[in-house]
Amino acid sequence: MGTYLDGGDPARQRTDYYPAWLDNLADDVTMEASVMDGVIRGAQAVRTVLGHARTLYDYQEFVYVGEHGPNGFAEDYLSRMAAGPIGSVVVVRLDEEGRTRGIVISHRPLRAVVTWSRLMGEHFAGTPYADYFLTPALARELLAETAG
């Protein structure tokens, strides 16, 4: 198994994974992520944002996919995107009927988080989702601060 720093193990890289929990969102589902500022609410909003986010991965190499406690699901995966390697952990909270109620996504390293947020911001510019993500100018400023 690789690490996000080395881009993962090419033999374990997948481009065909689809999260089953995405098809069973509660109407009032929430989503939080390290690449976002705020909480996205509602099934359509979550589908819209995740639908684009999934296109930014070159592949996913799964470290773990499965149950997380009595009412949860987790994904831990490595990938590569425009800024280089990225690692992600997704925790999904399910209700008693098995519907997805909450999603929390954590990415690493910081440079990938900033770049991911900028790419999302560029894609959603001029839409109600734009304010959740970094503008290109703010992303450049943050990356410059972390470099120095």
Question: Per residue in 40-79, pLDDT tens?
Answer: 999 999 999 999 999 998 888 888 899 999 899 999 998 8
> Given this model, what pLDDT does residue 140 score?
86
pLDDT of residue 45: 98
What is the helix (H) or strand (E) element at residue 117, kind and residue range? helix 110-123
Low-confidence ranges of the chain (pLDDT < 70): 1-11, 148
Whole-Å CA distances, 18 to 2, 6, 50, 104, 127: 21, 24, 11, 17, 26
3-state secondary structure of 106: strand
Residues 63/90, Cβ–Cβ less than 8 Å: no
Residue 63: the pLDDT is 86
pLDDT, position 6: 60
| pLDDT the model gives residue 8 | 61
Q: Which helix (H) or strand (E) is 76 found in, with range?
A: strand 72-81
pLDDT, residue 104, reads: 98
CA gap 19, 16 in Å, rounded = 10
